[in-house]
Chains A and B, each alone.
Chain A
C-alpha cells in the first residue's frame, strides 16, 4: 500500500530521460547538416548568424512544439476518456477537429496573406466547437451519451460548412489539407507563445481534476453520493481538454491518434487512477510525438514525411488492435 507510488516514479524517470534524449536528438538532427558540435558552439554563443538562426528559429521551436503538442493531446485524450467513460474518446469527439478545421479554412479565405492567423483560427474554432457541443448536450442533461451524440452532430455540421467553403473557394483546399495532415515542418515561435496560456491552463486544470475525475468512473449516482458535483466536473474536464487540444491544433494542425492511443498505452503501464496516469501520459505523449517527428525528418532526409502521417501509420493499427481487444463495458446489478 505504501510503496504503490514507486512503479510510477521509475516510469516517470525513464520517460523524462527519454524526453531529454529525444529533445537533444531533435536539436542536432535536421535537414541541414548542423550537428552536435554546432549545437555546442551555438550554446557557447560563438556560432555564426545562419547557424544561430537555424537553431533559434527552426530546431528549438520545433522541438518544443513536438513536446507540447504531444503532451497536450495525450492529456486531453485522457481527460475525455475518463470524463466520458469511453475508451474511444479523443479530442475529435467534442468537435475540436471539425471546429478548428472550419475556422482555418474560413481564415485562409478571409485573410489569405496573413499566415499566422491560421493558428489563432484553429484555437478559436476548437474552443467554440467544444463549448457549443457542451451547451447543446446540457439541454439533454449533459450525460456521457448526450455529449458524444452532440459532438457527432456538431462535427458533421461544421464539416459540412468547411466543405461548402472549399467548394466555393477551391484555393482553400491547400490549407485544409495541410491543416488536416498536421506536422511540425513550419513551426514558428509566435504560435507557441499564443498557445502557451491555453496549454498551461489546460495542464493546471488537468492536475486539479486528477483527484476528482476518477469518481465519474463509478457512475453518476455513486459519484454524486460521494459529494462530487458531477455535471461541473464533467464540464471542467471538457473545458480543459478543449483548451489543451485547441492549443495543440493551433501549433501543429490535426495530429491524429495521439489523444486516443497514449492514454491506452499508459493504462497498460500504470493502470487506474488519474493521479498516477496523468504525469506518465503527459511525458509519453511528448516522447511519442517528438520521436515520430524525428523519424519523419530522418527517414527520407533531406525530404520530410509529415509527422501526422507517420503517427496515423502507427496509430491506425493500434486503434484496430484496441477495437478487437476491447473489453465490454460491464455493469453489476447485484
Chain B
C-alpha cells in the first residue's frame, strides 16, 4: 500500500505539489490525469523517491520512502520517466540494468538475476530484439525494452509517465495488454496518461489532478459522474456499455457551449 501524507514538493520556491494526501491499494491500477502543469509527473517522481520533498511523506506499507536506502527503495518501486535517452547499448544490457538494486557490491549478475532478466524478457516479448542496439529499435520496441528493465527490477509498484503518448495505435494496444497482464499478476500500477477516454476505459481508479492537488481519486464511473471533469477540463466523458464493461468517449455536448461567432466558420 502506498500512502501520500500531506506531500509537498517545491521547485525553486514554486509549489508544485500542495498537501497531497492519497492512498493507493496494493494491486490497484490507477491512471493520473489532469491538464499540463497539474503536477502529475512530479507526483510520480515523488512516489519514486527521486525528487526532494518540501514536506509530508510517501509511505510504502507504512515505511517512509525517504528513510530507505536507495537500493531498498529501488527494490520496491520502478519508475519510467516520460523522456528517456537512447543510450548506446543493447536491449539485453538495458534489461540487465533493472537488476542493479538487487546486485551486491561487485555488481555482477547472479543466477537469480539472470533468471529475473529471462523472465522480464519473456514477459515483454523482447527475445527477438535482445542483441539489437537500442538506437536501431523503433520507439515502440524501445519502450518495451525499458519496460522489460522495469519488470526485471521485480518491484511491487510500477510508475509510468505517459508510456503510450506518441506511440502508434498498434504499440499502444500492445502496451495496454502488457500492463493488463502485469496488473493481473499483482503489480500495483500507477501511470500518467493524456488520453482521457482510454484512461477511463482502462483504469481501475482515476486520479484527477489540478494545480498541484488531487481533485478526485475514485473509480472511473464515480469520477465521470462527480462533475469534476467539467470543472477541470471544461468537458465531460460519456460512458457507452460495451460487453461486460464500459467504454468512454468525449461527451458531444460541451458543458459550456462556445459563443456562436467562433463556430460560424
Contact = CB atoms under 8 A, between A and B. Distances in A.
Interface of A: 1, 85, 210-212, 214-215, 217-219, 221-222, 224-229, 267, 271-273, 327, 329-334
Interface string B62-88: 000000011111110111111111111
Interface in B1-54: 45, 48-50
28 contacts: A1-B114, A211-B106, A214-B89, A214-B97, A215-B97, A218-B94, A219-B81, A221-B50, A222-B84, A224-B50, A225-B48, A225-B79, A226-B74, A227-B71, A227-B75, A228-B70, A271-B88, A271-B133, A272-B90, A329-B86, A331-B83, A331-B85, A332-B83, A333-B83, A334-B163, A334-B164, A334-B166, A334-B167
Contacts of B220: none
Contacts of B79: 221-222, 225
A221 B166 contact: no
Max chain B Cβ within 10 angstroms of own Cβ: one of A214, A222, A225, A333:
A225
A85 B86 CA distance: 11
Contacts of B84: 218-219, 222, 331-332
Contacts, number: 108
Contacts of B143: 332, 334
- The majority secondary structure among interface residues of chain A is loop
Contacts of B140: 334
Contact of A225 (B50, B83, B139, B165): B50
B197 interface: no
B74 to A, nearest CB: 3
Contacts of A85: 85, 87
B40 to A, nearest CB: 15
Contacts of A222: 79-81, 84
Contacts of B239: none
B213 to A, nearest CB: 23
B219 interface: no
Max chain B Cβ within 10 angstroms of own Cβ: one of A85, A228, A329:
A228
Given A225-B79, A227-B70, A218 B87 contact: yes
B101 A227 contact: yes
Interface in B130-156: 130, 133, 135, 139-140, 142-143, 153
A329 to B, nearest CB: 7
Max chain B Cβ within 10 angstroms of own Cβ: one of A211, A214, A221, A333:
A221
A224 B27 CA distance: 24
A23 to B, nearest CB: 30
A146 to B, nearest CB: 15
Interface in B156-197: 163-167
B93 interface: yes
Contact of B85 (A224, A227, A271, A329): A329
Max chain B Cβ within 10 angstroms of own Cβ: one of A229, A267, A334:
A334
Nearest to B96: A273
A107 to B, nearest CB: 40
A215 B45 CA distance: 18
B100 interface: yes
Max chain A Cβ within 10 angstroms of own Cβ: one of B72, B79, B81, B142:
B81
A300 B234 CA distance: 82
Contacts of B100: 212, 215, 226-228
Nearest to B164: A334
Given A219-B85, A334-B140, 16 more contacts: A211-B106, A215-B97, A218-B85, A221-B79, A222-B81, A225-B78, A225-B79, A226-B97, A226-B100, A227-B72, A228-B70, A271-B133, A273-B89, A330-B86, A331-B83, A332-B86
